[in-house]
Structure 1
Amino acid sequence: MPASPSTARAINDRLALRLLQQDGPLTATQLKTLTGLSRPTVADLVERLQGAGLIHVVGETGADRRGPNARLYGIVADRALLAGLDVRTDSVAVVIADLLGATLAEATLPVGETEGDDAVERAVALLAATVRNAGSAPLHSVGIGAPGLIDPVTGELRDSSGLPSWHRSLVRALQERLPATVLVDNETNLAAVAEHRVGAARGHDTFVLIWLGHGVGAAVMLDGKVRRGASGGAGELGFLPVPGTAGTPSAVNCDGGFHSLASSAPLCELAARYGIAVADEGQEPGAAAAVRAALAGEGDGEGFLAALADRIALGAAAVASVLDPGLVLLSGEVGHAGGDALAARVEERLAAMSPLRTEVRAGLLGGTAVRRGALLAARDAAQEAIFAPGA
């Protein structure tokens, strides 16, 4: 059954908006070519989208030649604001952007271990102040990346041992107080979304991202979709039992699992054995600084990098043997610090441990990956609502 005229218009409008978002600004002729629509149909949709305040003229082509110039149309990016939050155990980072994802304002708030309700109020105030600094447009959508499990049915952040209680309180407070859509997802999943869309995994719809920072985790992307598992716990790599630890993990504690080999604290201890002493403090894990020092030639840098690659390869081999993703990204502050040099060492060891061909790359976005992913989630939600037919 052919689509009704109103449905056809809505489909055409959404197609044009998507092209303007991805490839814009564009002329009417370029829209005609890219959509395959007739010239009168494109003229109608341009007029319709301008009347709805969704697109506007942003310039002209051919300004250096004689004759009439074609108008360039672009998305009205300042129609609404988006926010991305990266909620860590000891800090909250905020980024505000327009509908096209251009960053307008950023801020970071350190949070002390003993702070509870205070942390929530300070974080809410930080978001409000950063939004004010970004402009006068309304805040439409907020994406939040947080450690811990996200319930796949309700979308809520679940209680997790070892995480501060203010995490759940902050998400609730933002959902209750903001006249905006508030979305929350696991931080590593959002990092994978960002690397897939704008980072090292562009062009790869199946891969696994291993996050190496203060803690460790993984995100599984299969056929272009993040897989969360039955309880939202897919990728809890810290609990993976591995050789080389003093015991095995439990249901409430990942000590003895991969966490005990590859999180920042044990990596700092490993670095010290090779003459590289870096304290694990501040927003960047000490292990990331140790990796940079090793690459710069401090202590027995080569020995430390070899031992580090051995440890990471254990987790990567387990992932590869089960999922055969073809690509593993080393992300987080440690993966970013190690770059191609660490990725190459891990890939070499992985090739010796598994018959499955697996490329290992360093993530491109480092510690910014979570808030970039949170911002992309907010952007998708806003565009789905604002660009929806009849919105």
Structure 2
Amino acid sequence: MLTVGVDIGGTSVRAGVVDADGTVIAEVAAPTARDAAGLDDTVVDLVGGLAARHRVAAVGIAVAGFVDPDRRTVAFGAHLPWRDDPVVDRLAERLGLPVVVEHDANAAGLAEHRVGAAAGARVAVLVALGTGIGAALLLDGAVYRGAYGVAPELGHLTVVRGGRPCPCGKHGCLERYCSGSALGRSAEELVAATEDFSLLRATWERAEPLTGRDVARAAEQGDALACRVVEEFADWLGQGLAVVADVFDPDVVVVGGEVSASAPLYLDRARERYAEQLTGRGHRRLAEVRPAALGGRAGIVGAALDAGERTFPGQRYG
């Protein structure tokens, strides 16, 4: 049984044909349109092209935004033109295929649970570190969404009272200290506060924003300032993981997102900080903290598997 997964991001829309084992067997992409009608057309064109070459049974769409509990409406996405939009019915009619929609972090979490790093976990949490922090919670393999479809918003836990401003409107959110954008912000603050040599200084002096990738590359080359930034990042991640464990008591936590590509730089230290700060440490089992297995394809795979499972109830994929 083949299904199509569509991952809609702020800059690109990627679609792939996925088999029942979670293998992507064909993939296409296009820029993200800025208006609702254009985005509809992009999805229809990509999926239609794949369906013309492969016999597909359903379509899953992963979006970086709020999905209503009915799983038919995209309520809001900061980088999406859909607003309180019943996209599922409209796209299903145009494609002639069953369509389901899911939050992108939930889709990634589902993929990791079915065919990735959280396979077989009873309580699994995905922490996706990118520009911000996305998160997913799976209980016995089922995605937990909360009463209104927005849980769990781990990135917006307040960790520093009156701390860095966050686009969500609050201050001191975890993602302002533990995300790809936070790596760049922390590096800029440290470069400005010291005259020590750093590979990052030239970029900063040109008034170019430092990125998480800049910091990771410099840390890989042994840059002392970049290494300090990464260590601070790891400490915040460890603190966040301890909160996750206290609230959800998972057996597996998967660290994914763009920043997970640099996991060898920080994940061991984050595990240590997590173990030090966990309530009841030394008297309870630690969740396994693993890097994501599916990388940038997790959204596509999860959306596709979700479409298969919802279209054919009782069928378990992966």
Deviation at residue 248 of structure 1 after TM alignment: 7.3
Counterpart of 1:366 (choices 295, 298, 307) is 295
Normalising by structure 2, we get a TM-score of: 0.80
The answer as to whether partners of 1:245 and 1:261 remain within 8 angstroms in 2 is: no
Deviation at residue 181 of structure 1 after TM alignment: 0.9
Q: Amino acid of the residue matched to residue 121 of structure 1?
A: D
**Do structure 1's residue 131 and structure 2's residue 56 form an aligned pair?**
no
Change (3 A) 1:96 1:256: same
* 1:202 partner SS: coil
* 2:177 partner SS: helix
How many residues get paired? 296
Stretches of structure 2 lacking an aligned partner (at least 5 in a row)? 192-197, 205-209
Q: Amino acid of the residue matched to residue 185 of structure 2?
A: E
Deviation at residue 184 of structure 1 after TM alignment: 0.9
* 2:3 partner SS: strand
Q: Tell me which residue corresponds to 2:195.
A: none
* 1:166 partner SS: coil
Counterpart of 1:148 (choices 37, 57, 65) is 65
Q: Following superposition of structure 1 onto structure 2, how do residues 1-391 of structure 1 map, counting pairs within 5 Å? A: 81-98=2-19, 101-111=22-32, 114-132=34-52, 134-135=53-54, 137=55, 139-152=56-69, 154-160=70-76, 162-166=78-82, 168=85, 171=88, 173-243=90-160, 246=163, 253=169, 256-272=172-188, 273=190, 275=198, 277=200, 286-288=211-213, 290-298=215-223, 300-335=225-260, 337-354=261-278, 355-356=280-281, 357-384=286-313
* 1:201 partner SS: coil
**Over residues 139-194 of structure 1, what are the superposed CA-to-partner deviations in whole Å (9 max), with x where a residue is unaligned?**
32001111222222x11344236342237475454233121111111111111111
Deviation at residue 232 of structure 1 after TM alignment: 1.4
**Over residues 93-141 of structure 1, what are the superposed CA-to-partner deviations in whole Å (9 max), with x where a residue is unaligned?**
10013455543320122226x4543233233212222332x33x3x320
Alignment partners' CA distance in 2, 1:155 and 1:116: 18
Change (3 A) 1:326 1:382: closer
Deviation at residue 319 of structure 1 after TM alignment: 1.3
Alignment partners' CA distance in 1, 2:170 and 2:101: 23
The answer as to whether partners of 1:93 and 1:108 remain within 8 angstroms in 2 is: yes
Alignment partners' CA distance in 2, 1:370 and 1:161: 16
Q: Amino acid of the residue matched to residue 49 of structure 2?
A: A
Q: Amino acid of the residue matched to residue 305 of structure 1?
A: V
State, as a whole percentage, how many aligned pairs show the same letter: 32
* 1:235 partner SS: coil
Stretches of structure 1 lacking an aligned partner (at least 5 in a row)? 1-76, 280-284
Q: Amino acid of the residue matched to residue 131 of structure 1?
A: A
The answer as to whether partners of 1:212 and 1:332 remain within 8 angstroms in 2 is: yes
* Higher relative contact order structure (alpha carbons within 8 Å, sequence separation ≥ 6): 2
Alignment partners' CA distance in 1, 2:199 and 2:7: 30
Change (3 A) 1:256 1:163: farther
The answer as to whether partners of 1:191 and 1:373 remain within 8 angstroms in 2 is: yes
Alignment partners' CA distance in 2, 1:94 and 1:218: 22
Alignment partners' CA distance in 2, 1:98 and 1:320: 33
Alignment partners' CA distance in 2, 1:249 and 1:302: 24
Q: Tell me which residue corresponds to 1:72.
A: none
Deviation at residue 358 of structure 1 after TM alignment: 3.3
Alignment partners' CA distance in 2, 1:143 and 1:289: 34
Normalising by structure 1, we get a TM-score of: 0.66
Alignment partners' CA distance in 2, 1:289 and 1:176: 45
Name the Cα RMSD after superposition. 3.1
Deviation at residue 317 of structure 1 after TM alignment: 2.0
Alignment partners' CA distance in 1, 2:224 and 2:37: 44
Alignment partners' CA distance in 1, 2:185 and 2:50: 38
Q: State which structure, 1 or 2, has the greater radius of gyration over its C-alpha atoms.
A: 1
**Over residues 329-380 of structure 1, what are the superposed CA-to-partner deviations in whole Å (9 max), with x where a residue is unaligned?**
1111112x12344221111011111135333221111221111111211232
Alignment partners' CA distance in 2, 1:369 and 1:289: 24
Change (3 A) 1:121 1:200: same
Change (3 A) 1:381 1:311: same
